[in-house]
Amino acid sequence: MQAMKKISKSESAANEAWATVVPDQIRDCTSVAGLKAGKVVVLVPSAAHRYMVDRWLGSGGLSEFQALAQVPIRGVDLKIVADVGVQVGQNNT
C-alpha cells in the first residue's frame, strides 16, 4: 500500500499558485517539492532551467506568485535534480 504524504493548506496553496501563475514553459519542467520556513522549494532539471526560472522570478514572477499564493512566501529555493521529470509526475498525482 502506498503511503500518502500529508500536505498542509499553505503548501497546497503554494502548489496551486505555482501551477497557475508560471508560464507553461516553466511549469512543464519544474515541480514544487515543498514549503520550508516560508520558502517554496522548486525542483528544476538543469542549470539552464534554473537560470530561466530565476530570470522569470526576478522580472516580476515572484511578486505575482506571492500575491496569488494567499500564504506568506519569503522566496523560492531552486534545486537542481536530475530526475525532475519523475518528480513532476509524482507530485501531480
DSSP-derived secondary structure letter, 22: S
Domain locations in the chain as residue ranges: 26-91
pLDDT digits (tens, 9 = 90+) for 33-86: 988 888 999 999 999 999 999 999 999 999 999 999 888 999 999 999 987 554
Contacts of 57 (CB under 8 A, 6+ apart): 65, 76
| Neighbour tally for 27: CB within 10 Å | 14
Looking only at the bridges linking them, the beta strands covering 31-36 and 39-44 are antiparallel
What's the pTM? 0.78
Q: Coil, helix or strand for 2?
A: coil
